[in-house]
Chains A and B, each alone.
Chain A
């Protein structure tokens, strides 16, 4: 019945605006013209295949296994893809990864015993980077000056590197392996960077999780609906297709939830968790699609914009600050690094923290530009990293930095577009996801867990008040910016009292003065800030005449905060004691994911990305309109060799010894992976995300065959078939993309 009405209804919902020559293209059709679509479909297929035939493949351990393979490949495949889009190849990229590793080991290992140069790693590591960059610059310059095909030029450097690696290794060590990295000076410092691992703990699921998880989901759903109500107009005739989508989402969510309860395997928990979450998301999205349409309002180019960004950034810097504090505390009884210990390090750190705090407050007040606190934060974070890096600390910083980057980007984007609300909401959702993540990380001390959760609360409140302001800006551009009212003063007092109370409680529990003070300050600050944020939200929305939307937002926000608060208050000591390390993700995986995201951003959004496409697509044309083609290409070559350096370091610090032939021949894998990901061999077309997905496919196949206990001889058959299929799909996609629309 519902399906019958859908067909008649969808004809009406075709947009009548725009050019009549433009046929309506649905989101699926648009997606099908993306270069990475072939790889994406392939990845899902390969994953399903191995998930069906092998039990351990889907577990966190299995994931870590294939992601690790994918990471060493993908770290290179992403920059190689950029270079290919720029119209060039680098055949020396594979042996370059090994070359940097060999250089570091040879330079640093002991002279008498192992035949190395005995340098400190603080010298050897930067030297190998300089070497990599020099070769990259050489490749790029030679290709540019001689106009020879890069295939030939880099084939030359490829053989030179292979020969040099083998020759020098044998010359110095009399063997084909260079080893002894772990006995070099400064090893601990660099091992904490390139050899770092991220341990994921098993989560002890208990009854409380239902309560706070449920609250979070309900809160998020209601928040979305409320925002739609406020920022969008209701459709006169509900879109039945949207209801259908919503129903499918609900069904999927319900099935996922039932399976989540039924199955209790470790691998299935998170899979069904994700299915449930996705189901809820689809259900909400479908509902919004059915009920709401974009309101016909002038997108108010309000003067609140910069203020909102300022507000967000100031808050985020607060988070950064607290992370640094957390790291300091955390490092006190962890195995930390002996670098910059003593007064100088602490002084710089203290100055940085102080400067960030002061500047963040000034920025929030609008006295200085938002750029200044960023400088302060850098001052604080850099010594903090060098001084305190522990496994937990590094992880904490990574989380913090990623979260901040994401939030800042989102808020900037939100500020640029009229669609601010959706972006800010996404931010909140991201924070909630992050909360879950950190929750499963609870292997460290109570304080850090509490701090993190508390910080998330701050971020959420910030996002909420930003939403409120943006809604106000959208609705009436004449509305004055809300100012803190008397409630904020009360909030400050509540915060003070609460902070003191928390401090006393902690002291009474015998956790030490420092612990008490910091807990008090942070928790008190949160209490004060919560009241302030709610006050701002109230005042802003009070000008709105839409009582339904207003109350929905209130309820949604309230439940989310309550959920997090519940979580915050009841961290049990059993939970903290649960430190069963299950899975280790190497730092390579993090870097790989970062590279993929960065590469995609550079390609799609930056000027440099535009230039990459241009020099690969038509070098002469781009040069004639003023694109520095030579510089662009040389930069790309250097980018590839710098990534080869990072990969080389990850390889070297994983085993602490390097075979002379490591990495040789990998350059073709990088190119294959990039092609699977949709890059055109002739340049000018492709995707960084596609290359990353290609690397994951490669990883899944190579380790999946092992998990499935198949004979590994079949590996190349599968890979070859995959390559062919991917190229065919990409060919089709590209012809679609080139079609006259």
Chain B
């Protein structure tokens, strides 16, 4: 059976700099694929290839068995790949419902009087967010007044409403407190249960392990491997992520220094 989204040896070069090489993984509906890596590991390059901002130089990207290449964010969106960026997701001085429908406003009325269907937009925004388990106080409030976790939640609800089949989340928990991170992780699970394929980018194995079904670890642009959850324990994941041996050596050093 063809995988829903399949990446084979994807590589990307910027001139003579190897930004990403040999990334292989699969993404399926109802599953969460976690991409882990430290700063500079190539996570953002990975996102940008999938989101259509950049194009891969080597390897193949298969969607439902068919080779694809996204030349612009719009193309990726049209294929159902929605990306929720950590900080670029929202316009803070606009209300929740306006942000929810931004770029795809529902319209009503005859031509010269064509305008946004405000009542409908507000209703749908509230309903959709309720479906995701987000209890928004007032869809008229400005997004700037929401907490970080709530903003991510709104962005996830928006992506799922507009027919996203693959949801890419770029470090959704990195700027959040413990409790807020929990909220976002719950949204990820809810999105997965609604049948979306989720790609969860993070550098925190403690966030990735509970929700992930599949893990890709990047280190300095190189893919360290691609594991299913059964093949890996949480401590394995932490070790691999920090470069395994390096962290062990560090632990060793610290232990010695302590005594």
Q: Are A738 and B90 in contact (CB under 8 A)?
A: no
Bound state CA distance, A626 and B162, in angstroms? Answer: 12
B92 close to chain A: CB less than 8 A: yes
Please, how many angstroms separate the alpha-carbon atoms of A621 and B86 in the complex? 10
Inter-chain contact A605/B93, CB cutoff 8 Å: no
Q: Does B145 contact A (CB under 8 A)?
A: yes
Closest to A625 in B: B103
Please state if B145 and A370 are interface contacts (CB–CB under 8 Å). Answer: no
Instruction: Tell me, yes or no, whether A319 is within 8 Å of chain B by CB.
Output: no
Question: Is B118 engaged at the interface, CB distance under 8 Å to the other chain?
Answer: yes
- Identity of the chain A residue whose Cβ is nearest the Cβ of B78 in the assembled complex: A626
Tell me how far the C-beta of A253 lies from the nearest C-beta in chain B, rounded to whole angstroms.
34
Q: Cβ of B138 and Cβ of A412 under 8 Å apart? A: no
Interface centre among A417, A626, A627, A684 (most CB of B within 10 A): A626
Q: Interface segment, A194-202, A208-216, A334-342, A610-618?
A: A610-618
**B91 cross-chain contacts in A, Cβ below 8 A:** 613-614, 617-618, 621-622, 684
Q: Does B231 contact A (CB under 8 A)?
A: no
A741 at the interface (CB under 8 A from B): yes
A412-B113 in contact given A19-B137, A617-B93, A737-B142 (Cβ < 8 Å):
yes
Most chain A beta-carbon contacts within 10 A, residue among B85, B109, B115: B115
Q: Contacts A620-B88, A622-B102 given; indicate if A416 touches B93 (C-beta within 8 A).
A: no
Q: A371 near B: Cβ within 8 Å?
A: yes
Inter-chain CA distance A417–B117, complex, in Å, is 10
Closest to A313 in B: B110
| Residues of B close to A617: CB separation below 8 A | 91-94
Hey, what's the 0/1 contact readout for B110-123 against A, CB within 8 Å counting as 1? 11011111110000
Q: Which residues of A contact B158 (CB under 8 A)?
A: 625
Nearest chain B CB to A600's CB is how many angstroms away? 12
A412 to B110, CA, bound (A): 9
Determine whether A145 belongs to the interface, using a CB cutoff of 8 Å to chain B: no
Contacts of A261 in B (CB 8 A): none
Chain B nearest Cβ from A413, distance in angstroms: 9
A605 to B119, CA, bound (A): 11
A19-B138 contact given A416-B119, A610-B116, A626-B77, CB 8 Å threshold: yes
- Measured CB to CB, the nearest residue on chain B to A19 is B137
| B138 and A22 form a contact (CB under 8 A) | yes
Is there an interface contact between B94 and A22, defined as CB atoms closer than 8 Å?
no
Map CB proximity to A onto B129-165 as digits: 1 under 8 Å, 0 otherwise: 0000001011001101100000000000010000000
Contacts of B141 in A (CB 8 A): 740-741
- CB < 8 Å neighbour of B74 from A417, A610, A611, A626: A626
- Determine which of B74, B110, B117 lies in contact with A370 in the assembled complex, contact meaning CB atoms within 8 Å: B110
Q: B67-80: contact bitstring with A at CB < 8 Å (1 yes, 0 no)?
A: 00000011001000
CB-based nearest A residue for B144: A738
Say whether B107 faces chain A, with CB atoms less than 8 Å apart. Answer: yes
Indicate if the CB atoms of A607 and B113 lie closer than 8 Å: no
Contact B98 A613 (CB under 8 A): yes
Q: Does B83 contact A (CB under 8 A)?
A: yes
Answer yes or no: B234 CB below 8 A from chain A CBs: no
A711 within 8 A of partner (CB): no
Q: Is the CB of A408 closer than 8 A to any CB of chain B?
A: yes
1/0 per position for A228-246, CB-CB distance to B under 8 A?
A: 0000000000000000000
Bound-state Cα–Cα, A691 to B105, Å: 26
B104 within 8 A of A: yes
Task: Say if the beta carbon of B89 comes within 8 Å of chain A.
Answer: yes
A and B contact pairs by CB, cutoff 8 A, 9 listed: A19-B137, A19-B138, A22-B137, A605-B115, A605-B118, A607-B116, A611-B103, A613-B93, A625-B104
* 9 shortest interchain CB distances as A-B pairs: A626-B103, A617-B91, A605-B115, A625-B103, A618-B91, A740-B145, A607-B105, A684-B93, A627-B103
Task: Given contacts A606-B115, A611-B102, A618-B90, list 9 more A-B pairs with CB under 8 A.
Answer: A605-B118, A611-B103, A613-B93, A614-B98, A614-B102, A618-B92, A624-B88, A624-B89, A625-B103
